[in-house]
Amino acid sequence: MERESELLLVSGLRAGDTRAFSKTFEAFRPRVFAFLLRLSRRRDTADDLTQETFVRLAKASPTLAEDTRLVPFLLTIARNVFRSHRRWEMLDLSRIFLFGSEHDEAVRAHDEKAHASRALREVEVAMGTLSVAHREVLLLVAVEGLDHDAAAKVLAIEGDALRQRLSRARKALAEELSRRERRATVKVPQGGLP
Amino acid sequence: MTDHDAAKPPNDHESSRDPAHPAPEDALRGLPAFDMKPSDASKAERAALAAFEHAHGRGDREVRLGAGIARFAVPFGLAAVVVVYLSWAVSAATALQQ
């Protein structure tokens, strides 16, 4: 979205224009949802947290700064609602019984895409094995394309800390992918396929 | 990550040096887009729009109408109960005197 259109939306949000809010929801919902699905790895959680993200945007809309950049703003809210949800989830003892039986729904959503490639599926699976801190920094910088300053603000860390975290996350992803590749190679019989 | 790694200045483009082996991070850029199901999306939009209207001092017309009615109905109701009670008390007292 062009900056001018974004500023018009922000102006509409500040003024209480419901059409501006609907346009904002339409324009940014897929990005927020995909970010939350890849963070949480669960579709129902991503649905709920996407709704909560836009509810919080709605509540904050009268006091938005005129020059608000909507993508980092929404991703900051999305990350915060995910963190709150995760803290609550850790206290929910009933989830212990579900441990290990849950499917990675980001991978499932990937599989539902007709044009999805196997290589990208491996990346999607590997992303699911990373820690949340690594996953979120990769999602913000590599998938969402935020610059380092914006990503650091979303994560509430300094620029240097972001660069270090990003470097560690890249390394962890590369290691996981090569581990998966080695595992796939070992499964092939030594004499080769008939 | 080791201390050595932490001390090493990370390079944003170090992964792109070998075009034959693109970095995993480059692959991340090609991940497909996802979206909510239409029914979930419209439900979420309705909830968010209600919050938006509320934040701007509008919306919840039924709730505000109900609150307005209640504001008048409660004092009138209380006054009616008091009047009925007093009239019963007066008539009871009159009956006892006779």
Residue B12 contacts residue A167 (beta carbons within 8 Å): no
What single DSSP character describes residue B15?
Answer: G
Cβ distance of B45 and A22 shorter than 8 Å: yes
Residue A110: its chain B contacts at CB < 8 A? 31-32
- Six-digit token pair at B95? 């009956």
Q: pLDDT (tens digit, 9 = 90+) per residue, A150-184?
A: 999 999 999 999 999 999 999 999 999 888 888 87
Tens-place pLDDT, residues B44-55: 999 999 999 999
pLDDT value for A6: 93
* Residues of chain B neighbouring A113 (CB-CB closer than 8 A): 32
Q: Across the interface, do A47 and B31 touch by the CB < 8 Å criterion? A: no
- Across chain A, mean pLDDT equals 87
Tell me the shortest Cα–Cα distance from B55 to chain A, in angstroms: 5
For residue B8, the 8-state DSSP code is S
What pLDDT score does A185 carry? Answer: 74
Q: What is the pLDDT of residue B90?
A: 93
pLDDT at B29 (0 to 100) = 80
* Cβ proximity of B46 and B59 under 8 Å: no
Q: Which of A16, A46, A170 sits opposite B23 (nearest CB)?
A: A170
Q: A-contacting residues of B 59-98, CB under 8 Å?
A: none
A110 touching B (Cβ < 8 Å): yes
Selected residues 7-26 of chain B with any CB under 8 Å from a CB in chain A: 8-10, 12, 15, 23-26
pLDDT digits (tens, 9 = 90+) for A122-135: 888 899 899 999 99
Among A residues 128-157, those touching chain B with beta carbons less than 8 Å apart: 138-139, 141-143, 145, 148
Looking at beta carbons, which residues of chain B come within 8 Å of A126? Answer: 24
Domain limits, chain A: 1-97, 103-181
User: According to CATH, what is the number of the domain A103-181?
Assistant: 1.10.10.10
Cα separation, A90 vs A94, whole angstroms: 10
Q: Is the ipTM of this complex over 0.85?
A: no
Count the helices and strands in chain B (H runs, E runs). 4, 0
Whether pLDDT at A37 is above 90:
yes
| pLDDT of A11 | 95
All residues of chain B having their beta carbon less than 8 Å from the beta carbon of residue A60 are: 55
More confident residue, B32 or A112: B32
Cβ–Cβ of B56/A61 closer than 8 Å? Answer: yes
Angstrom distance (rounded) from CA A29 to CA A88 = 24
Other beta carbons within 10 Å of A39: 23
CB contact under 8 Å between B48 and A54, yes or no, is yes
Q: What percent of chain A has pLDDT over 70?
A: 87
Could you tell me which of A108, A176, A149 has the C-alpha nearest to residue B27? A176
Interface contact A108, partner B, CB < 8 A: no
Flag whether residue B1 sits within 8 Å of chain A, measured between CB atoms.
yes
Q: Is the pLDDT of residue B14 over 50?
A: no
Looking only at Cα atoms, what is the longest distance across chain B? 113
Q: Decide which of 1.10.1740.10, 3.40.50.2300, 2.60.40.1510, 3.30.43.10 is the CATH code for A1-97.
A: 1.10.1740.10
| Domain extent listing, chain B | 21-97
